[in-house]
Amino acid sequence: MCDIKKLVKYADGRGLTKELVIAYKEDLRTGGKYKLSSINSFLIAANRLFEYMGWYNLRVKTYHIQKEVFMPGNRDLSKSEYKRLVQAALRKGKKRLAMIIQTLCSMGIRASELSGITVECVKNGIAEIFCKGKHRKVLVPKKMRKLLLKYIKENNIDSGAVFCTSSGKAVDRSNVWREIKALGKEACVQDKKIFPHNLRHLFAKTFYEKNKDLAKLADVLGHSSIETTRIYIKTSCNEYQRQIDLMGLV
């Protein structure tokens, strides 16, 4: 209804014609107030109304938005920044947080999947992850397994989830997000780059750089669609610029 009201306001009492709807579409684009994805949402709402009313001749095409091949550089977490976050956590005496950051990044799992990192799976070297109605197995890297086994022994964790709150519950995404966010200043990492899912993106990009196997990466990340996986391996704007400059075509 909110989207349709925009069209009603633009029409301002005028009868709806194909020309008016096309002008409305162009006005949304040139007005500078909305992203093309938002404009497409407004147009889809209008088209659904036209279909319901039987005004099929009034329907207009949405804008085709080409997928970006790079992500903004100010959102891309680098490997050095990731390592600074780990070191910052250790300097602050937050060993558990340092272990969580390394676990998320080395295994490419979601923060919500940390409960699947149990004592049993660390000992076996394979974690069984249940998320979004899907089940997958994720290997624990040898170095990470060694670190986790040492952490488990030091903290006398006999069984169950390795990372728990003081109340004994498995840590959740909000716990992790707040703790990692607090490391930004100490680690000299921009606040906008610090969120748990960026560690998963770093894993994906590093995995793809080594293997160049998109299908295998999709399996590791637990994606049903490779199109979703493509989002994870976008290079930064700066890296894309460097690759273009190295082509030497000017």
Nearest C-alpha neighbor of 27 from the set 11, 13, 41, 16: 11
How far is the C-alpha of 92 from the C-alpha of 88, rounded, in Å? 6
pTM of the complete model: 0.68
Record the tokens describing residue 43, joined without a space.
């147009």
User: What percent of the chain has a predicted confidence (pLDDT) above 90?
Assistant: 53
Distance from CA of residue 217 to its chain's centroid?
Answer: 15
Residue pLDDT, tens place only, 151-164: 999 999 998 999 98
Kindly report the average pLDDT of the chain as a whole number: 88
Q: Which of 63, 21, 67 is nearest to 232 (CA)?
A: 67
pLDDT tens-digit map of 191-234: 888 888 889 989 998 998 888 888 888 888 888 888 888 877 77
Helix axes 95-107, 173-181, angle to 10 degrees: 110
**What average pLDDT score do residues 127-149 get?**
88
